[in-house]
């Protein structure tokens, strides 16, 4: 392989050089106004073709106003402004793209990540034409370039798996977004937000707990696809064993059928307070494929405030107070993708710290009940 920086620049004709040098944005002593109020004055500058430019400044300095003015959304009250050789808002069709800081989507409009990216090509389509195979290909290429190709249709597939399960079982479906705004999810019974961006999985799940009306509780991430038969089988085992507060099923890697590293041949039943004594790393049961009795999760105060291994923390705390089951059926198919938190370089360090916190809290509880402390070990 060669370093692109070592390549000799291609020769171009004088005509090509002249065209390339034409600026895509020109501002000459420009002022902008909202109605009769001038909000930005004396702006002069050029943006050459083929360059990326970052506009930096404090809040209220006029960055958004300038961007909106280039789109023709703010009046040019003085001076001269040209975008791709035309007045703002009059540039050739498809030559200008804009991504706002906040997007307002109709909450009844179902859309996937891939479809959002395809919206950037709508200006190149004719009236009433839908994106075809080429548009989908380009959208996937764009997602792949930023490490998101595997998430193109994640939420859509997750929603479909829930809908299929609801054909067989009466489910309450609560969607929680980790942030201040939501995207539409068709047929959800409720959509909530944490109200603060990047609050974490534990906060998002705990936000939904007060609204849960069902007897059983299963968490499902947008990385997961639900198996309807596995849900029915796991709930059936809990109904047969009314003293059991939880049931752990199997989880397979989506698309490969491989078992996750957590799964092992372990006992079918776990008396109260025994699961923590089997602690190994990786854990012998997958804590992300567990159905709980809802009251047991509430009694444990929900998911612990950890940025890793929060599912393990909840399972161990619930298992301290109630017996559990292992069910061989596949409950969830889990997607793995490069940008996933668990795939990052810092993930092992986060998990190690989380495991120490979980061990400390479990041992504090066991000390009050006279149980022996637990220590995790490598398998």
Provide the pLDDT for residue 104. 47
| Owner of token pair 């054909």 | 167
Provide the pLDDT for residue 337. 65
DSSP 8-state assignment for residue 185? -
User: Residue 307 in contact with residue 200, Cβ under 8 Å?
Assistant: yes
CA neighbor of 116 nearest in space, from 184, 175, 163? 184
Does 3.40.1710.10 match the CATH number of domain 22-83? no
Residues 6+ positions from 276 with CB-CB distance below 8 Å? 316, 319, 320, 362, 366, 374
Provide the pLDDT for residue 113. 65
Provide the pLDDT for residue 253. 75
Provide the pLDDT for residue 195. 72
Distances (CA, A) of 345 to 56, 63, 196, 342, 376: 30, 35, 25, 8, 22
User: Residue 136 in contact with residue 146, Cβ under 8 Å?
Assistant: no
* Averaged pLDDT, groups of 10, the chain, 379 residues long: 36 38 85 82 88 83 85 87 87 73 46 68 62 72 67 67 82 79 71 74 90 93 87 94 95 67 71 87 84 96 92 95 92 76 80 91 91 74
Stated pTM of the model: 0.61
Instruction: Write the class of the CATH domain 169-378.
Output: alpha beta
Cα gap 70→53, rounded to integer Å: 14
Chain centroid to Cα 36, Å, comes to 43
Residues 6+ positions from 81 with CB-CB distance below 8 Å? 26, 27, 28, 30, 69, 70, 87, 88
| Owner of token pair 């409009």 | 109
What number of other Cβ atoms are within 10 A of residue 279's Cβ? 18
Cα gap 345→354, rounded to integer Å: 16
Provide the pLDDT for residue 360. 93
Across 200-239, the runs of DSSP E, i.e. the strands, are 216-217, 224-226
Provide the pLDDT for residue 131. 66
Instruction: Read off the tokens for 191.
Output: 């959509």
Q: How many CA atoms lie within 13 A of 218 on its CB side?
A: 25
Sequence ranges of the domains in the chain? 22-83, 113-151, 169-378
What number of other Cβ atoms are within 10 A of residue 70's Cβ? 24
Q: What angle do CA 75, 79, 84 make, to 5 degrees?
A: 75
């Amino acid at each position: 392989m060669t370093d692109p920086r070592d390549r000799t620049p291609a020769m171009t004709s004088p005509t090509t050089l002249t065209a390339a040098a034409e600026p895509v944005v020109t501002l000459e002593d420009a002022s902008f106004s909202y109605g009769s109020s001038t909000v930005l004055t004396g702006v002069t500058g050029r943006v050459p073709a083929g360059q990326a430019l970052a506009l930096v400044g404090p809040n209220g300095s006029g960055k958004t106003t300038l961007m909106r003015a280039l789109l023709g959304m703010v009046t040019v009250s003085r001076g001269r402004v040209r975008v791709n050789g035309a007045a703002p808002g009059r540039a050739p069709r498809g030559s200008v793209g804009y991504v706002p800081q906040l997007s307002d989507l109709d909450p009844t409009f179902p859309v996937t990540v891939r479809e959002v990216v395809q919206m950037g090509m709508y200006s190149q389509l004719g009236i009433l034409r839908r994106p075809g195979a080429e548009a989908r290909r380009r959208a996937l290429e764009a997602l792949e370039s930023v490490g998101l190709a595997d998430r193109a249709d994640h939420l859509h597939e997750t929603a479909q798996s829930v809908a299929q399960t609801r054909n067989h079982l009466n489910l309450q479906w609560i969607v929680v977004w980790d942030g201040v705004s939501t995207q539409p999810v068709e047929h959800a019974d409720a959509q909530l937000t944490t109200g603060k961006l990047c609050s974490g999985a534990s906060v998002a799940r705990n936000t939904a707990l007060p609204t849960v009306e069902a007897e059983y509780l299963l968490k499902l991430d947008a990385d997961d696809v639900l198996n309807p038969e596995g849900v029915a089988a796991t709930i059936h085992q809990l109904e047969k064993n009314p003293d059991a507060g939880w049931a752990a099923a199997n989880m397979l890697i989506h698309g490969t059928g491989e078992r996750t590293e957590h799964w092992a041949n372990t006992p079918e039943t776990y008396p109260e307070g025994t699961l923590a004594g089997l602690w190994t790393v990786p854990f012998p049961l997958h804590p992300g494929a567990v159905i709980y009795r809802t009251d047991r999760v509430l009694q444990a105060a929900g998911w612990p405030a950890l940025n890793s291994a929060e599912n393990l923390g909840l399972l161990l705390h619930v298992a301290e107070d109630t017996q559990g089951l292992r069910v061989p059926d596949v409950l969830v198919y889990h997607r793995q993708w490069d940008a996933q938190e668990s795939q990052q370089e810092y993930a092992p360090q986060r998990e190690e710290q989380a495991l120490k916190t979980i061990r400390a809290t479990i041992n504090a509880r066991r000390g009050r009940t006279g149980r022996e402390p637990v220590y995790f070990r490598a398998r």
